A and B are shown apart, each in its own frame.
Chain A
Amino acid sequence: EPEVTQTPSHQVTQMGQEVILRCVPISNHLYFYWYRQILGQKVEFLVSFYNNEISEKSEIFDDQFSVERPDGSNFTLKIRSTKLEDSAMYFCASSEPLEAQHFGDGTRLSIL
């Protein structure tokens, strides 16, 4: 069964550095999402992407964040200048219209 893959599984970065989290969604899906989960807290929506543009974003998704689908297969989340509070598990998901989201296993981002 096709699945969403995320790389790396764990990313350690110095505060202030840029980080790019990568995701390969399921190939025929049209909707793409990023979520984050701070340790011990709930899953928080960051952004959704459809038709090559952001369709919705949360208050968390400020100017430090950006998403891209550079080549038709990858879907990336960039954080320009990381802060300590960006440490979290980041989940990518993809879906067909109105169908369930398929989640990747997540990337654990640790900011030092």
Chain B
Amino acid sequence: AQSVTQLDSHVSVSEGTPVLLRCNYSSSYSPSLFWYVQHPNKGLQLLLKYTSAATLVKGINGFEAEFKKSETSFHLTKPSAHMSDAAEYFCVVIRPGGYQKVTFGTGTKLQVIP
């Protein structure tokens, strides 16, 4: 079975402070992992991806995530939050195979306080 858990439905940070959005996964295979961002009334935009290369992955807009197999985690971080980071963030796991399985997390809404 495959699952994704985003531990926080809402995260609130002050502008200029670090961001941590947590994601844990379970998969019987070596999965690929992704973070997407959705701004209000917009579509889904890829932030970054892990596909079995470097475990620390850098994405757009200063975000990065570290794949930790021992902890089955793929947490998203950013050193300093910006007002424009306020959005919903989704962690996604893809199990490899011809009929690959995609599992979305339930999302974390990030609020940035000025």
Contacts and interface: CB of A to CB of B under 8 A. Distances in A.
A101 to B, nearest CB: 7
A31 B95 CA distance: 13
Contacts of A55: 99-100
Contacts of A101: 34, 44, 46, 92, 102
Interface in B63-114: 90, 92, 94, 96, 98-104, 106-107
Interface in A18-54: 31, 33, 35, 42-45, 48, 50-51
A98 B100 contact: yes
A103 B102 contact: no
A50 B44 contact: no
Interface of A is mostly: strand
Contacts of B42: 105
B30 to A, nearest CB: 10
Interface residues of A, number: 24
Given A43-B90, A45-B104, A50 B98 contact: yes
B107 A43 contact: yes
A75 interface: no
B43 A98 contact: no
B98 A103 contact: no
Interface string A52-65: 00011000000000
Nearest to A92: B43
Interface string B30-49: 00101010100011111001
Given A42-B107, A43-B90, A100-B49, A56 B101 contact: yes
Interface of A: 31, 33, 35, 42-45, 48, 50-51, 55-56, 91, 93, 97-106
10 closest residue pairs by CB, A with B: A55-B99, A103-B44, A105-B43, A98-B32, A100-B46, A100-B49, A42-B107, A103-B43, A42-B106, A100-B34
14 contacts: A31-B100, A33-B102, A35-B104, A42-B107, A43-B90, A43-B107, A51-B98, A91-B43, A99-B32, A99-B51, A100-B49, A102-B46, A103-B45, A105-B43
Interface of B: 32, 34, 36, 38, 42-46, 49, 51, 90, 92, 94, 96, 98-104, 106-107
